[in-house]
Structure 1
Amino acid sequence: MRQMCVWMLLMALAFVNERCHCCLEEERISLLEIKAWFSHAGAAGSYQLEGWDKEHFNCCNWLRVVCDNTTNRVIELDLFVVNYDGLNAVEDLYLNASLFLPFKELEILDLSDNQLVGGLKNQGFQVLASGLRNLKELNLDYNKFNDSILSSLSGFSSLKSLYLSGNRFTGSTSLNGLRNLEILYLKSTDFKESILIESLGALPSLKTLYASGSKFKQVEKG
């Protein structure tokens, strides 16, 4: 009788586990750390991550998070406009790449409109690129990045779509190494014409360039 009860309990646990489709614990902890990162920086919109807490165990059901239906790994993070407060000033935010490295299967990362200005020491895009080998779409629109991040983006060899509109680029550095990139957004930027041409020549898979509102500066010949 006791063996029968144990067997029934194991079957019940297996059934619950199969029905749960819960996210990985490592990724759930990392999401909580990302929320703490925004909150610690005083992110005005961090309230939008209120559903991210220890009481809600399955992070695949959290807003702004998408998981693979088979593996339950996080494949999309939509973190746009978390550090934003309309016309009111908000603090600048520095990327901490280590927070995102546990998401090995991540395909889409949206960090647009967050007042990001760069990365913490040894925690910038070069580190992020080394860990997110499956990333296909990266949205950095309307932050405060400058040319210093452009060379580090070359590590994202799997990218197909890259959004860089509305940042503080002057085009002193070209984009390269993104051999699979198909779509590039450079709206409202100030790339030098020669650097832009050089960048486009280094993107063999590029099909579409969105650059409305940009002022491509011609380089004066001495």
Structure 2
Amino acid sequence: MDGSCNIVLFIFVWLLTLSNVDLCICNASSEVQCIPIEQDALLKMKRHLSDPSNRLASWSPHENCCNWALVVCHNITGHVLELHLTSPPPFEFINGETIYETSVFGGEVHPSLLDLKHLNYLDLSGNYFGDMQIPNFLGLMSSLTYLNLSDAGFGGSIPIQFWNLSNLIYLDLGRNYNLEGSIPHQIGKLTNLQYLDLGDNDFNGSFPHQIGNLSNLHYLDLRGNEFSGSIPHQIGNLSNLHYLDLRGNEFSGSIPHQIGNLSNLINLHLGNRLLSISVENLRSILTLSSLQYLELGYVNLSNTFDWL
């Protein structure tokens, strides 16, 4: 990911954080007490997780769960609002050598999470869940606005219940590699999404035109899958997009000229070997005043440069 993209992503996450200020979300003080049913739910989850580095040592039934590591409560009500169960990359370089870490969580994502009725932020990224399917029950957690399951070793198809999470603003399923199947038209129900990453998986089939319903999207990453057929022209409805990455798929036909409607686009990656670009397409793209980075990869440019 290049520098300008990192800037866009940083600004987006910063703005998303600011949007929670009015909820008065912060690490709870000792005066705030965890809700007993929520504490029990977290203890059940702990029992079903593998935690080789004992990172959840503070999760004790004798301690207020609002003071536990990786847990954020509302500082007035005590409800659990956020779980930061992410892990660092599984390796790091020290003195030129690769040192593998054993701190990643694994095991089972337990349905006791359903008792966290106010949970709006769930981060399970960077772990390894042994290619297990994304749990169906996550589709019932309607309070979620942030869900990060990237780099977490999930596999199989996405359960249909998942697309009921209509309050999501941020959804990252990227880099699980073994997530597969087609993306259903129900994705169009996630109309509050501002960030969507499905990159580096094994999704296939045509991409549903209902993507055009997600008019709040700022970031869309579909790279490194096996999507085929035409790029849906409804992508041109996503006028708030800053980042669009479609490379490394099997999209075919001509690039839709509606991409020229994306006036806020900063980064555009289109590299698909079966795609072609016409003079009209290229003219539309070159009129995008905000565009800073354009990658065409193996796109067929035949007869295009005659116009240039």
1:100 partnered with 2:113: yes
Partner of 2:191: 179
Q: Say which is worse superposed, 70-79 or 171-180, in terms of deviation.
A: 171-180
CA contact (8 A) 2:81 2:120 kept: yes
Alpha-carbon distance between aligned partners in 2 of 1:69 and 1:49, rounded to the nearest angstrom = 21
Question: Which residue of 1 is the match for residue 251 of structure 2?
Answer: 218
Unaligned runs of 5+ in 2: 1-29, 92-98, 225-246, 254-273, 275-308
Per-residue Cα deviation, 1:157-212 (whole angstroms, up to 9, x for no partner): 110000111012345234612121111123433544832x6363353432222456
2:155 aligned to 133, 141, 146, which one? 146
Aligned residue pair count: 191
TM-score, with structure 1 as normaliser: 0.72
Higher strand proportion (structure 1 or 2): 2
Instruction: Please state which structure has a larger fraction of its residues in helix.
Output: 1
Amino acid at match of 1:95: V
Aligned residue in 2 for 1:198: 209
Q: CA-to-partner distance for each residue in 1:85-106, whole Å, 9 max, x for gaps?
A: 874788963433x220111000
Q: Which position in structure 1 is the counterpart of 2:139? A: 129
Q: Which runs of 5+ in 1 are unaligned?
A: 1-18
Q: CA RMSD in A?
A: 3.2
Query: Matched residues in 2 for 1:88 and 1:149: separation?
Result: 28
Amino acid paired to 1:115: Y
1:44 alignment counterpart = 52
2:132 aligns to what? Answer: 118
- Cα deviation, residue 81, structure 1: 2.4
Do the aligned residues in 2 keep the contact of 1:193 with 1:216 (CA within 8 Å)? no
Q: Distance in 2 between matches of 1:145 and 1:152?
A: 16
Whole-Å Cα distance in 1 between the matches of residues 83 and 209 of structure 2? 32
Q: TM-score, normalised by structure 2?
A: 0.53
Distance 2:162 2:248 in 1: 22
Inter-partner Cα distance in structure 2 for 1:143 and 1:30: 22
Q: Deviations over 1:46-98 (max 9, x none)?
A: x0000111232x1111110000112110000011129x6874788963433x2
Q: In percent, how many aligned pairs have the same letter?
A: 31
Q: Whose RCO is larger (CA < 8 A, sep 6+)?
A: 1
